[in-house]
Structure 1
Amino acid sequence: MPVNLTEVARHAGVSLATASRVLNGSARSPAPDITERVKAAAEELGYVANAQAQALARSTTGLVGLVVHDIADPYFSAIAHGVQEVALQSRHQVLLAGTDLGGEDGTPRSAELAAVTAFISYRTDAIILATSRFLEEDPVLAKNLGRYIQNGGKVVTLGDTSIPGAKVLTVGNFEGARDLVDALVTSGLSRFVILSGPHERNTARSRVEGFTSALERRGLEPLAVVGGEFSSQGGFDATLEFIDTLGIIAGARSTESPLCILAANDVMALGAITALRSRGLRVPDDVQVAGFDDIPTLRDYSPGLSTYQLPLQEMGRLAAGLALAPESALESRVTGAVVLRESAGTPTSALDGA
C-alpha cells in the first residue's frame, strides 16, 4: 500500500495540515527545521505527493498544454523543445497534442478544439497554440479560451489571433519572405513559382504576401502560385501540378534566368526537390528551390537549402515565457535572417551552413 500523508505527519511529529503545506507546495511554509523534518520523513517512508492535492494547495497544476500541427515536423519539434526548456525551469510539465490526424470530423480545427478542451479540463496553467492561426478562428474555440483566460489561465498564440485576451508571439513572416526574395533577385534570379501552402492559414498567407510584394517592387510577378498542404507531400504534389506545363528539360541550355521555386516552408521545399528529381530535373542546375524556417534537419540534405532562418527553439522559449512569467508582456516578436545555400542564389561564406 502506498504511504499516505497522515503517516508522514505522524512520523515527523507534526499535524496533517503542516505536512500538507510542506509537501503539497503551499505558499504558507512552516519553519525551516519543521520543513526539513517533514521532507526527511517523506523520503524515509517513500511518500509520493498527490498531484491533485498539490494543485489545490498551490492553485496551480504545474501543467502547460502545447498544440502543434505535426509532432514529427522538425519545425514543431524544435519549438516544443524550447517550450519544454522554459517549462522545466518553472517546474511545469508539457502536455503535447497534434492536429495533423484531425478530430472527430477529420479536420485540424476539430482536433485543436478537442485538445484545448482536454487541456482546460486538466486545469493546465497555460495553453500555447503553436499551430498557424486561421483567417477566422473557430467561434467555439475562441469562446472556450476566452472563458479560460477570464478564469486565470494563460493563452499564447504564434501569430495574430482574435481569441480575446490571448498573448501573441508575432513572427516576421511577411518581412522574412520579402527579404528572401530580395536576396534571390539580387543573386540574378527573376523567374519564380510560389508554393503557397494552405491559404486559410495566416502563416502561409503572410509569407506569400511577402514573396509577391518583393517581386512587385522589382517589377516581377510569379509564373504561378500553387496551393497545397504545409507538408512534404504538399510540396511534391504542388510541384508536379505545374512543372510539366513549363516544359523544363533536364540539362537544357537557356538564356533565361533559372526558374526558382519559392516554398512557404522548408518541408514543402524538400517535397518539391523530390518531385523535381522524379522528373529527372537537378537542383540547382535545372531548377532552383528556396524554403522558409531553416528546420534543424536541413543539415542532412544535399544540396543545402536556401531559406529564411527563424530561431525556432527561441520561439518556443519566448512563447513559454509569455505563458508562464507572471508579469510578461502581452506580445513579443521574432525575426530571422536569409540563409543562401546551394539550392538557390549564391552561397556566401558568412551564411552558408548557418
Structure 2
Amino acid sequence: MPVKLTEVARQAGVSLATASRVLNGSSRTPAADIAERVKTAAEELGYVANAQAQALARSTTGLVGLVVHDIADPYFSAIAHGVQQASLDTHHQVLLAGTDIEGDAGSPGGAELAAVNAFISYRTDAIILAASRLLDEDPRLIKALSQYIKNGGRVVTLGVSSIPEAQVVNVENHDGAAALAGALLEQGIGRFVILAGPHERNTARIRVEGFTERLAQADLQPLAVVHGAFTSQGGYDSTLEYLDTLGTGAEFDAALKPDGGSPLCILAANDVMALGAMTALRSRGLRIPEDVQVAGFDDIPTLRDHFPGLTTYRLPLEDIGRMAAHVALVPSAKQPPAVTGAVVLRESAGATVPQGN
C-alpha cells in the first residue's frame, strides 16, 4: 500500500496541512527545521508526493505535452530533444505522443485529437504541436485547443496554423526551399522531379512552392510533381511511381538523361523522403549521383550515416524545439524571429567536396 501523507505528518509530528505545504509546494513555507523534519519523514517512509495535489498547490502540473508525427523520425526526435532541454530549464517534464498511427476509428487527425485531449485531461501547462499543420484543421481540434487556451493553457505550433490564439514558431520553409533550388541550378542542374509529400500539409506545400517559384525564375518547370506520404516509404513509392512513367530499355535511358541534357535531380520536400528516393533508385540499378542526383530538406542528424552524403537545406532542429518550449513555458516570451537555415551541398547532387558534417 502507498504511504499516505497522514503517516508522514504523524512521524514528523506536524499537522496534515503543514506536511502538505512542505511536500506539495505551497507558497506558505513552514520554518526550515519543520520542513526538514517533514522531508526526512517522507524519505524514511518512502512517501511519493501526489502529483494532483502538487498541481493544486502550485497552480501548475509541471508538464508539457508534445505532439509529433512519427517518434522514430530523426526530424521529430531532434526537435523533441530541444523541447526536453528547454523544458528542464523551467522544471517541466515532457509528455510525448506520436500521430503516425491514426486513432478515433481511423478518422483524419484522430490520433492528434486523442493526444491533445489526453494532455488537456492531465492539465499540462502547455501543448506543443510539432507535426506540420493541416491546410484545413480539424474543427474538433480547434474547439478543444481554443477552450484549453481560454482556461489558461498555452499552445505552440511549428509553422502557421488556423488555431486561434496559438503561438507560432515560424520556419522559413519557402525561402529555404528557394535557396536550395537556386544552389542546385548553380550546380548546372536543369531537370527536376519534385517529391512533394502530402499537399494538405502546410510544410510540404510551402516548400514545394519555394522550389517551383525559384525554378520558374529560371524559366524552368519540374518534369513532375509527385505527391505521397511525408516519410521514407513515401519517397520510395513516389520515386518508383515516376520511374515507371519513363518506359523501359532505350526509352528509359533517353528519358532519364537525354544526349547533351542536364542531369536529372530528385528534389524531395524532406530528408526522409530523399533517403527513400535513394533506396528506390538503387533498387532499379541506378547510381547516385552519376545517373540521378538527389536533394532533401532539414539536415536530420542521421544523414552522417548515409552514402553518398545528401545535399539538403540545414535547419537548426534542436534550436527549433528549444524555441517552441521557451515560447510555451515562459509567459513573458516574445514571438521569436522566423528560423532560417543554410544550403549544404554534398555528393548526392554532384558536389565534389562535401560541405558541413
- Separation (CA, whole Å) in 2 of partners of 1:243 and 1:231: 18
Q: Over residues 269-317 of structure 1, what are the superposed CA-to-partner deviations in whole Å (9 max), with x where a residue is unaligned?
A: 0111111111111000000000001111111111000001111111111
2:80 match: 80
2:296 match: 291
1:26 match: 26
Q: Structure 1 pair 160/327, CA: closer, same or farther in 2 (3 Å)?
A: same
1:310 match: 315
Mapping for residues 10-89 of structure 1, pairs under 5 Å: 10-89=10-89
- Separation (CA, whole Å) in 2 of partners of 1:69 and 1:77: 10
Give 1:52 shift: 1.1
Matched, 1:171 2:171: yes
Give 1:3 shift: 2.3
1:184–1:345 contact (8 Å) kept in structure 2: no
Matched, 1:342 2:350: no
Mapping for residues 136-215 of structure 1, pairs under 5 Å: 136-215=136-215
- Separation (CA, whole Å) in 2 of partners of 1:330 and 1:69: 24
Give 1:131 shift: 0.6
- State which drifts further: 37-46 or 274-283: 37-46
Letter in 1 for 2:328: A
2:171–2:340 contact (8 Å) kept in structure 1: yes
Aligned-partner SS, 2:142: helix
Give 1:243 shift: 1.7
User: Which stretches in structure 1 are left out of the alignment for 5+ residues?
Assistant: none
- Separation (CA, whole Å) in 2 of partners of 1:124 and 1:253: 58
TM-score (norm 2): 0.94
1:62–1:92 contact (8 Å) kept in structure 2: yes
1:188–1:345 contact (8 Å) kept in structure 2: no
TM-score (norm 1): 0.95
Matched, 1:110 2:114: no
- State which drifts further: 54-63 or 204-213: 54-63
Could you say what the CA RMSD is over the residues aligned between the two structures, in angstroms?
1.7
2:347–2:353 contact (8 Å) kept in structure 1: no
Give 1:81 shift: 1.2
Matched, 1:266 2:271: yes
Aligned-partner SS, 2:262: coil
Give 1:77 shift: 1.0
1:240 match: 240
Letter in 2 for 1:346: A
- Separation (CA, whole Å) in 2 of partners of 1:149 and 1:330: 17
Aligned-partner SS, 1:326: coil
1:222 match: 222
2:253 match: 249
Aligned-partner SS, 2:347: coil
- Separation (CA, whole Å) in 1 of partners of 2:337 and 2:126: 17
- State which drifts further: 123-132 or 19-28: 19-28
Give 1:6 shift: 1.8
User: Which stretches in structure 2 are left out of the alignment for 5+ residues?
Assistant: none
- Separation (CA, whole Å) in 2 of partners of 1:5 and 1:332: 47
Give 1:33 shift: 2.9
Give 1:255 shift: 1.3
- State which drifts further: 237-246 or 148-157: 237-246
Q: Over residues 7-33 of structure 1, what are the superposed CA-to-partner deviations in whole Å (9 max), with x where a residue is unaligned?
A: 222222322212111100112222333
- Separation (CA, whole Å) in 2 of partners of 1:268 and 1:174: 18
Q: Structure 1 pair 234/107, CA: closer, same or farther in 2 (3 Å)?
A: farther
2:78–2:318 contact (8 Å) kept in structure 1: yes
The alignment covers a number of residue pairs equal to 352
Aligned-partner SS, 1:83: helix
Q: Structure 1 pair 220/253, CA: closer, same or farther in 2 (3 Å)?
A: closer
Letter in 1 for 2:230: F
For residue 319 of structure 1, the aligned residue among 324, 328, 335 is 324
- Separation (CA, whole Å) in 1 of partners of 2:165 and 2:24: 30
Letter in 2 for 1:243: L
2:305 match: 300
1:277 match: 282
Q: Structure 1 pair 31/243, CA: closer, same or farther in 2 (3 Å)?
A: same
Aligned-partner SS, 1:236: helix
Aligned-partner SS, 1:171: coil
Letter in 2 for 1:249: D
1:340–1:347 contact (8 Å) kept in structure 2: no
Q: Structure 1 pair 89/70, CA: closer, same or farther in 2 (3 Å)?
A: same
2:257–2:263 contact (8 Å) kept in structure 1: no
Q: Structure 1 pair 296/34, CA: closer, same or farther in 2 (3 Å)?
A: same
